[in-house]
């Protein structure tokens, strides 16, 4: 009955909304053009299943954050199941780009179709996965039902139920529990996440706490040469103090610029590297800086065209996939999505470089990382522009203290490694209980 009600609302209410949302953007602009056909159930032209061995493991990571968490898991599974085929789907185009960069082990990439049976059925039939793994929290009733009807095992890895989504899931427990009953294994990031998914209706005997694979992800690649390469690229000398503001949202960007203008009075050579969460917001940032009569910044994209910094003190990172490397340059870091109610961003990445990280009170999506770094002193919550400015000034003044606290945070991140291997072994064990997979069917793009 739940499925009937869900599909009724999906086709009568959601479908017209999706059409009204996507079509103008696809027709009039560039947004969603690459992913649009995939969302309607079309596989890439070069996607061929006739050469894919068994077992076939299909992972879904909706966007960049989930892809980062997935990367070390796939690497660990490749060690445990070297003969398996690995397929990765994403929901966003930025996630797809990141997946190509971070998961070279994958045998194929696609966009996850919208949760309509007409779009899902052909894709599931062609891939014929033995195991489907949802990263973090992606509960799609039709997708899971379609997979289970074909005998596919379904698991949730790095499972996380955010503070924002949990009340909604709990209110709709009667609906979601029937879908959760179809999932064979829940590998949750923390005890709290395990308790929450249990309260939502997941069977207790299928739930395990295996930690957060993002701890493994942030230490995937911290080569010594990265810092020198970034310094040369952006013309930032070793003695130059630098504030990195990562993944900022509208509302926060203005606070960061205000804090920076104040800090310049005491630190006249201070460089600000600003990386907006959505690079398409760069024109608004440029407009804001012009209104404030700030000097024009250097755009990171312009560096690739041969433009030099030439003394400019503000750099805007208007490209994706480079923020992790940029953290290597920081004297102090502010992570966005936290002074506005967005749930925070991944503070483990700057911590992996041994940096002190400032963030606002909205860190619901990264509460484990927040607690770990706060306990070491490497993570500090700020609640206002005044606090943000004061804390930045303190660490710029006492660089030795910033370095000491940053190293403590880095050591704590190292201590939590190993989640990816735990997840990999449990997923391999789930597959081992299934027996031999079905024979392959030859289907090319």
Q: What is the pTM of this model?
A: 0.73
Looking only at the bridges linking them, the beta strands covering 56-60 and 131-135 are parallel
pLDDT tens digits, one per residue of 192-206: 999 999 999 999 999
Q: Please tell me the distance from the alpha carbon of residue 186 to that of residue 46, in angstroms, as a whole number.
A: 32
Q: Please tell me the distance from the alpha carbon of residue 137 to that of residue 187, in angstroms, as a whole number.
A: 11
pLDDT beyond 80 at 208? yes
60: CB partners within 8 A, 6+ apart: 88, 89, 90, 91, 112, 132, 133, 134, 135, 138
With cut-offs at 50, 70 and 90, classify the pLDDT of residue 138: confident
pLDDT beyond 90 at 253? yes
The mean of the pLDDT values for the chain is 90
pLDDT beyond 80 at 23? no
Q: Are 424 and 294 in contact (CB under 8 A)?
A: no
Highest mean pLDDT among 1-5, 53-57, 215-219, 362-366: 53-57
pLDDT beyond 80 at 10? no
Instruction: Give the mean pLDDT of 76-86.
Output: 96
For residue 359, which of 248, 266, 265 has the smallest C-alpha distance? 248
- How far from each other are the two terminal CA atoms of the chain, in whole angstroms? 36
Instruction: Give the mean pLDDT of 337-362.
Output: 94
Beta strand ranges found along 112-251 (DSSP E): 131-135, 153-159, 185-188, 207-209, 242-248
391: CB partners within 8 A, 6+ apart: 332, 358, 380, 382
Of residues 248 and 225, more confidently modeled:
248
Q: Please tell me the distance from the alpha carbon of residue 217 to that of residue 352, in angstroms, as a whole number.
A: 10
How far is C-alpha 237 from the geometric centre of its chain's CA atoms?
30
pLDDT beyond 90 at 175? no
pLDDT beyond 70 at 444? no
Instruction: Give the mean pLDDT of 297-307.
Output: 96
pLDDT beyond 90 at 234? yes
Q: Please tell me the distance from the alpha carbon of residue 115 to that of residue 396, in angstroms, as a whole number.
A: 49
For residue 352, which of 413, 277, 261 has the smallest C-alpha distance? 413
The first and second tokens of residue 155, run together, are 């698991």
With cut-offs at 50, 70 and 90, classify the pLDDT of residue 65: confident
DSSP string across 282-332: HHHHHHHHHHTTPPPPEEHHHHTTT---TT--EEE--SSS-HHHHGGG-SE
Q: Please tell me the distance from the alpha carbon of residue 99 to that of residue 31, in angstroms, as a whole number.
A: 18
Residue 21, classified by CB atoms within 10 Å of its CB into exposed (0-12), middle (13-18) or buried (19+), is exposed
Of residues 96 and 440, more confidently modeled:
96
- 75 SS3 class: helix
pLDDT beyond 50 at 37? yes
Q: Are 360 and 340 in contact (CB under 8 A)?
A: yes
């Amino acid at each position: 009955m739940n499925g009937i009600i869900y599909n009724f609302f999906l086709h009568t209410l959601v479908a017209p909304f999706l059409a009204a949302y996507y079509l103008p953007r696809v027709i009039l602009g560039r947004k969603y053009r690459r992913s649009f056909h995939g969302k309607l159930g079309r596989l890439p032209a070069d996607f061929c299943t006739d050469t894919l061995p068994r077992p076939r493991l299909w992972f879904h990571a909706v966007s960049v954050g989930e892809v980062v968490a997935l990367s070390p898991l796939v690497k660990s599974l490749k060690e445990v199941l070297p003969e398996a085929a690995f397929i990765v789907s994403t929901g966003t185009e930025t996630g797809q780009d990141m997946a190509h960069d971070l998961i070279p082990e994958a045998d194929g990439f696609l966009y996850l179709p919208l949760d309509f049976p007409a779009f899902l059925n052909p894709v599931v039939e062609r891939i014929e996965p033995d195991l489907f793994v949802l990263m973090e929290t992606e509960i799609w009733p039709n997708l899971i039902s379609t997979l289970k009807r074909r005998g596919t095992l379904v698991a949730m890895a790095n499972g996380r139920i955010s503070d924002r989504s949990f009340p909604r899931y709990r209110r709709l427990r009667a609906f979601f529990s029937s879908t959760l009953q179809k999932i064979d294994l829940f590998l949750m990031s923390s005890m709290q996440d395990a308790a929450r998914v249990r309260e939502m209706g997941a069977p207790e005997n299928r739930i395990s706490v295996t930690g957060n694979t993002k701890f493994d992800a942030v230490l995937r690649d911290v080569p010594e040469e990265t810092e020198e390469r970034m310094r040369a690229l952006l013309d930032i000398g070793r003695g130059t103090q630098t504030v990195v503001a990562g993944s900022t949202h509208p509302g926060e960007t203005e606070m960061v610029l205000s804090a920076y203008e104040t800090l310049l009075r005491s630190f006249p050579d201070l460089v600000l590297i600003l990386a907006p969460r959505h690079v398409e917001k760069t024109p608004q940032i440029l407009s804001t800086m012009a209104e404030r009569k700030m000097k024009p910044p250097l755009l990171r994209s312009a560096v690739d065209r041969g433009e030099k910094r030439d003394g400019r003190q503000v750099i805007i990172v208007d490209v994706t996939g480079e923020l992790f490397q940029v953290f290597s340059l920081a004297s102090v870091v502010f992570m966005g999505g936290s002074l506005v109610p967005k749930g925070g961003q991944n503070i483990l990445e700057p911590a992996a470089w041994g940096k002190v990280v400032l963030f606002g009170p909205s860190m619901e999506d990264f509460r484990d990382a927040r607690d770990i770094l706060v306990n070491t002193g490497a993570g500090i919550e700020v609640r206002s522009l005044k606090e943000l400015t004061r804390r930045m000034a303190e660490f710029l003044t006492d660089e030795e203290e910033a370095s000491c606290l940053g190293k403590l945070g880095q050591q704590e991140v190292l201590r939590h490694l190993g989640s990816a291997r735990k997840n990999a072994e449990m997923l391999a064990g789930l597959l081992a209980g299934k027996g031999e997979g079905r024979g392959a069917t030859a289907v090319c793009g």
